[in-house]
């Protein structure tokens, strides 16, 4: 029954790998009892005989032996099936048996790759063609045994691979081909090896020097994962050689000083002076090639970043940035991706920015406990392939010292590897033994090649250990004695590599000692140049610069009538054959004659006009948020969809006279990583108006760490400027505790030193002018983030909609006086102050009252910086004033009250009481029942505007 195993023109053409193995198994069964197999297969076997391998097509290498004939001996089929299974399992599980852990190999699991498990002998394998096992194997492999041994070798050494999670066949085949052909292993010259040893000696020597010189001071030593530095060196030089001009790095504390000193070339002197708390700002290299910005309150040395233009060898003229970051592990990841996206985009043209993946690379260094533990990594990885966030692949390095503080892996993650979370995103992973610097180089090359070819993320799990405690004051023997008994007697990687070079005759023992001595002498010389600090020299006041404390200058944000009309008209144009959904088209076209008919400009309309005019002024815009293209409340519709073809049309891309890009992206359902990303984008593209919108304001607290650690405090800590805009829908409309409050109190609580603007607006014109003011401040020293509590029900409310001339005249008003009130100066006894939607509620209730002379209402549109002078000026007009009443919808412990109370007491004239009208102190922001909400809202209004 056995026939020649040629696949040409046969159905076997469609079978490969495990499928082919399965068919062969069934064929064996068929040989024993033809009727016992599935009828379909039986028919095929009857017609075509034994299944054959299309090995040539299966492989991308084309080395398969297609002339091979399946043996007549049916037992051999089972051997072939077993051999194929074994080969597949070596690829899939070889990493379990690999030599990737420098401290011990007890964890190795060999079972799945042993011949005996498959009932195979070496003799059996010799009968199988090598190409059946590994089509990518070197051509000198004679048979299946050679091929299996080859696979074992490549999959189980100091590099191990996990790539079966990659679904794209082309990528998977490419990875398999690279791995099995070992084409990415560098062949180093002796000189390169000596350079590598020197580098390791610098890395170790620096830590040793710090250890000796600054006894007991925290430095979060790199030792144990020393090869992180040459790994980064290699990735950077590879990418720079192919044209990349910007490299952005995010990393936590571990090894950071070493990376600063060696990868960023931060002068040793500067680092030493930080240990001595000595002033070091004048130590910036004279060529000015290192950019370290300082805030006025500062930060600890292992959170500071640097921005360096390097000029050595192949990395000439490259900008390398290590992002400033807080202690909060992993949160810098999306910030660095935001930097990178910003660096890759050209925003000087209308439409979408042009993006060049090759121009900038992001490297994210992670901790082995933090990578799987902190959810922000998952959020960030999920953005990797999204249109609005893709950066052409971040190279992730897990600086894996197999411990987190005192917690060993078994207590900190549920998976085998620290990298496992990346598998869910189909990211290939290489585990590499950090004690083998040449294997580490190979990992760098594979990662670089993969990113270069597929523009996707890659993970290098650099497995080492931690030589000391979590920091240099911790004694690890107390909590982790078994691990540290091994560490104590384990040689350093520099020692291991030096021995290797000595044994190969590349250097002598004396050479190795000389390398160390030279490095120590250099460090000592640098240290001797650092002058110890005198306590009295320290500026303890830590004042922000004057240009920050002076606040924003006045900006004229009005737009000429004709220009605004043109923008309006152009925003309502789309191609004749473009079919906008009828109902939407009607709604939009209502905007057409609004200027001539004295119509009102609703919120989203004012926003579009602001965007159009900002673009015309030459400022690019990037806007993201959940469902922001349409707008959560169906108000925005900046992206039009053809109802027949699904095509998109963005009128803001087609404005005349615009040379700035515009994007609005629907973000993934993520707050933290998106806010981090937009913050990063904005820091790296300071000329761009970057806006993030929350679906509802309170969801912003999912990103709280970015507000606290970066946006509100980054300038004071690191001198890092930001003009990020955050739109947070807010307002009490009876929708329950979770959709009412944008938690404005959170932003007000951390408001100080002019760190950001917090606004709660009541009209669309105010929104228009505030956006324009923000755009005008970009790039200036006074620039700062802007938090706006944006409306929901007010989006289409006539009282919140503005007239045309309110856009073409005037500017943003920090305080607005209620129209129609406050005219009779002597009669006013109460001034109500409020902010946002409640101002409109109050106005609505004023309608039916004729005698309101005793009352005036001020809308505090800008809550921070509090417009004290403006309010004070208004108050002086009313000689018979008895009380100031702050009215708010939020409970007393939330909203603006706690923030404005002290200001109101300061501005209240003598004898004038300061009172509160609003919900009482509550733990939950609002009532859940809409009826109770109405009653409560009404009570507050009545209390405010009735005598
Ligand atoms: C969000 C957050 N939680 C807790 C900490 C405190 N902390 C600092 S380092 C550390 C252990 C980190 O372990 P790992 O990620 O493995 O990095 P390693 O220090 O071992 O390099 C912990 C828990 C922190 N910095 N950030």
Nearest CA among 321, 341, 338 for reference residue 251: 321
Residue count of the chain, please give it: 947
Instruction: Tell me which DSSP letter residue 248 carries.
Output: E
pLDDT confidence of residue 1: 36
**372 Cβ inside 6 Å of ligand 1:** no
Residue 852 and residue 597 in contact, taking contact as beta carbons nearer than 8 Å:
no
Of 370, 399, 672, the one to substitute when testing ligand 1's pocket (max ligand atoms within 8 A of C-beta) is 370
pLDDT confidence of residue 52: 65
Ramachandran angles phi, psi of 416, nearest 5°: -70, -50
**786 Cβ inside 6 Å of ligand 1:** no
**370 Cβ inside 6 Å of ligand 1:** yes
**937 Cβ inside 6 Å of ligand 1:** no
pLDDT confidence of residue 844: 93
pLDDT confidence of residue 296: 84
pLDDT confidence of residue 539: 56
Task: Using the structure block, give the residue that is written with the tokens 């790998």.
Answer: 17
Distance (angstroms) between ligand 1 centre and the Cα of 439 equals 27
Residue 696 and residue 661 in contact, taking contact as beta carbons nearer than 8 Å:
no
Tally of CA atoms within 13 A in the half-sphere of 769 that contains its CB: 26
Measured CA to CA, the distance from residue 307 to residue 429 in angstroms comes to 29
Tally of CA atoms within 13 A in the half-sphere of 937 that contains its CB: 23
Of 219, 369, 374, 408, the one to substitute when testing ligand 1's pocket (max ligand atoms within 8 A of C-beta) is 369
Query: Nearest C-alpha to atom 26 of ligand 1 is from which residue?
Result: 328
pLDDT confidence of residue 38: 73
Give per-10-residue mean pLDDT for the chain (947 aa).
44 60 77 79 73 48 45 73 94 96 83 94 92 82 94 96 97 96 95 98 97 90 98 94 92 95 92 77 49 78 80 70 95 98 98 97 98 98 98 98 95 97 98 98 98 98 96 89 94 98 98 98 93 57 85 91 96 96 94 83 97 98 98 96 96 98 98 98 97 97 98 95 97 92 97 97 98 97 97 95 94 96 96 97 84 95 97 97 98 98 97 97 94 94 92
**413 Cβ inside 6 Å of ligand 1:** no
Query: Nearest C-alpha to atom 2 of ligand 1 is from which residue?
Result: 328
Residue 491, preceding bond cis, omega within 30 degrees?
no
Query: Nearest C-alpha to atom 22 of ligand 1 is from which residue?
Result: 405
DSSP for 536-600 reads GGS--S-PPPHHHHT-PPP------HHHHHHHHHHHT---TT--B-HHHHHHHHTTTTTTTTT--
Q: Which atom of ligand 1 is nearest to the CA of 418?
A: 16
**315 Cβ inside 6 Å of ligand 1:** no
**376 Cβ inside 6 Å of ligand 1:** no
Count CB neighbours of 682 within 10 A. Answer: 29
Measured CA to CA, the distance from residue 584 to residue 561 in angstroms comes to 26
Q: Which atom of ligand 1 is nearest to the CA of 368?
A: 16
Question: Chain-centre distance of CA 620, in angstroms?
Answer: 21
Pairing of strands 429-433, 458-463: parallel
Distance (angstroms) between ligand 1 centre and the Cα of 370 equals 6
Distance (angstroms) between ligand 1 centre and the Cα of 405 equals 6
Count CB neighbours of 878 within 10 A. Answer: 20
789: β partners: 728, 760
First and final CA of the chain: distance in angstroms?
A: 105
pLDDT confidence of residue 765: 98
pLDDT confidence of residue 947: 84
Q: Which atom of ligand 1 is nearest to the CA of 470?
A: 19
pLDDT confidence of residue 472: 83
**368 Cβ inside 6 Å of ligand 1:** yes
> What does pTM read for this prediction?
0.91
Measured CA to CA, the distance from residue 76 to residue 120 in angstroms comes to 10
Distance (angstroms) between ligand 1 centre and the Cα of 155 equals 31
Q: Where are the beta strands (DSSP E) in 699-843?
A: 725-729, 757-760, 786-790, 815-817, 830-834
**418 Cβ inside 6 Å of ligand 1:** no
**331 Cβ inside 6 Å of ligand 1:** no
Of 404, 466, 469, the one to substitute when testing ligand 1's pocket (max ligand atoms within 8 A of C-beta) is 404
**406 Cβ inside 6 Å of ligand 1:** no
Query: Nearest C-alpha to atom 7 of ligand 1 is from which residue?
Result: 405
């Amino acid at each position: 029954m056995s026939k020649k195993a040629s696949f040409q023109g046969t159905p076997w053409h469609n079978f490969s790998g495990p499928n082919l193995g399965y068919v062969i198994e069934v064929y064996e069964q068929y040989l024993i009892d033809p009727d016992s197999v599935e009828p379909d297969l039986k028919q095929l076997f009857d017609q075509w005989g034994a299944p054959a391998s299309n090995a040539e097509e299966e492989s991308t290498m084309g080395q398969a032996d297609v002339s091979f004939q399946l043996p007549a001996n049916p037992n051999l089929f089972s051997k072939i099936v077993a051999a194929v299974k074994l080969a597949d399992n070596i690829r899939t599980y070889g990493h379990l048996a690999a030599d990737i852990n420098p401290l011990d190999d007890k964890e190795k699991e060999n079972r799945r790759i042993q011949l005996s498990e498959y009932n195979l002998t070496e003799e059996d394998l010799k009968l199988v063609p090598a190409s059946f096992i590994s089509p990518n194997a070197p051509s000198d492999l004679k048979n299946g045994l050679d091929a299996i041994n080859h696979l074992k070798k490549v999959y189980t050494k100091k590099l191990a691979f996990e790539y079966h999670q990659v679904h794209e066949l082309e990528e998977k085949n490419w990875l398999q081909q690279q791995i099995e052909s070992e084409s990415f292993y560098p062949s180093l010259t002796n000189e390169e090896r000596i350079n590598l040893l020197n580098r390791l000696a610098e890395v170790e020597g620096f830590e040793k020097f710090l250890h000796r010189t600054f006894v007991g001071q925290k430095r979060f030593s790199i030792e144990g994962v020393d090869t992180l530095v040459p790994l980064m060196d290699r990735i950077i030089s590879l990418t720079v050689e192919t044209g990349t001009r910007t490299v952005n790095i995010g990393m936590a504390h571990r090894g950071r000083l070493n990376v600063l000193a060696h990868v960023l070339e931060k002068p040793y002197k500067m680092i030493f002076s930080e240990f001595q708390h000595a002033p070091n700002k004048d130590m910036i290299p004279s060529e000015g090639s290192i950019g370290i910005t300082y805030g006025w309150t500062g930060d600890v040395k292992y959170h500071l970043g640097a921005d360096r233009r390097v000029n050595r060898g192949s990395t000439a003229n490259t900008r390398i940035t290590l992002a400033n970051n807080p202690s909060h592990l992993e949160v810098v990841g999306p910030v660095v991706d935001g930097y990178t996206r910003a660096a890759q985009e050209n925003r000087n043209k209308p439409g979408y920015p042009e993006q060049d993946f090759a121009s900038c690379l992001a490297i994210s260094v992670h901790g082995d406990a933090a990578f799987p533990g902190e959810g922000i990594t998952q959020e960030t990885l999920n953005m990797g392939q999204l249109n609005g966030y893709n950066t052409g692949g971040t190279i992730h390095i897990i600086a894996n010292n197999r411990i987190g503080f005192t917690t060993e892996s078994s207590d900190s993650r549920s998976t085998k590897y620290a990298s496992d979370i990346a598998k869910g995103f189909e990211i290939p992973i290489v585990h590499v033994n950090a004690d083998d610097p040449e294997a580490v180089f190979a990992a760098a090359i594979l990662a670089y090649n993969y990113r270069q070819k597929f523009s996707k993320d890659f993970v290098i799990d650099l497995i080492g250990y931690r030589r000391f405690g979590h920091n240099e004051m911790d004694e690890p023997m107390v909590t982790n004695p078994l691990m540290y008994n091994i560490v104590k007697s384990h040689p350093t990687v520099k020692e291991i590599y030096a021995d290797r070079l000595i044994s190969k005759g590349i250097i002598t023992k004396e050479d190795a000692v000389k390398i160390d001595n030279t490095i120590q002498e250099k460090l000592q010389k640098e240290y001797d140049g650092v002058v110890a600090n005198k306590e009295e020299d320290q500026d303890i006041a830590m004042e922000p610069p004057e240009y920050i404390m002076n606040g924003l200058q006045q900006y004229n944000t009005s737009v000429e009538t004709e220009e605004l009309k043109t923008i309006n008209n152009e925003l309502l144009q789309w191609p004749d054959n473009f079919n906008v959904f009828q109902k939407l088209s009607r709604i939009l076209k209502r905007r057409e004659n609004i200027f001539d008919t004295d119509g009102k400009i609703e919120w989203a309309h004012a926003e579009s006009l602001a965007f159009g005019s900002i673009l015309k002024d030459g400022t690019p815009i990037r806007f993201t948020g959940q469902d922001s293209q349409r707008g959560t409340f169906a108000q925005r519709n900046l992206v039009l969809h053809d109802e027949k073809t699904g095509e998109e049309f963005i009128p803001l891309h087609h404005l005349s006279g615009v040379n700035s890009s515009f994007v609005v992206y629907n973000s993934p359902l993520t707050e933290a990583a998106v806010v981090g990303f937009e913050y990063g984008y904005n820091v790296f593209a300071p000329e761009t108006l970057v806006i993030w919108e929350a679906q509802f304001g309170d969801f912003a607290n999912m990103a709280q760490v970015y507000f606290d650690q970066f946006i509100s405090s980054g300038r004071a800590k690191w001198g890092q400027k930001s003009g990020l805009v955050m739109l947070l829908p807010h307002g009490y409309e009876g929708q329950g505790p979770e959709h009412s409050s944008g938690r404005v109190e959170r932003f007000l609580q951390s408001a100080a030193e002019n760190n950001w603007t917090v606004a709660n607006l009541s009209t669309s014109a105010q929104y228009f002018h505030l956006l324009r003011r923000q755009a005008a401040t970009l790039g200036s020293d006074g620039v700062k983030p802007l938090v706006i509590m944006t409306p929901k029900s007010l989006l289409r409310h006539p009282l919140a909609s503005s007239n045309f001339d309110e856009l073409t005249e005037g500017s943003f008003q920090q305080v607005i006086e209620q129209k129609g009130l406050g005219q009779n100066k002597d009669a006013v006894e109460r001034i109500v102050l409020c902010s946002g939607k409640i101002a409109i509620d109050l106005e609505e209730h004023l309608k039916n009252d004729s005698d309101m002379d005793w009352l005036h209402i001020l809308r505090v549109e800008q809550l921070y910086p509090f417009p004290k002078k403006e309010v004070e000026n208004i108050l002086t007009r009313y000689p018979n004033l008895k009380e100031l009443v702050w009215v708010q919808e939020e409970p007393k412990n939330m909203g603006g009250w706690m923030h404005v109370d002290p200001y109101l007491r300061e501005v209240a004239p003598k004898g004038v009481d300061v009172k509160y009208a609003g919900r009482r102190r509550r733990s939950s922001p609002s009532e859940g029942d809409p009826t109770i909400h109405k009653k409560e809202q009404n009570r507050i209004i009545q209390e405010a505007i009735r005598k």
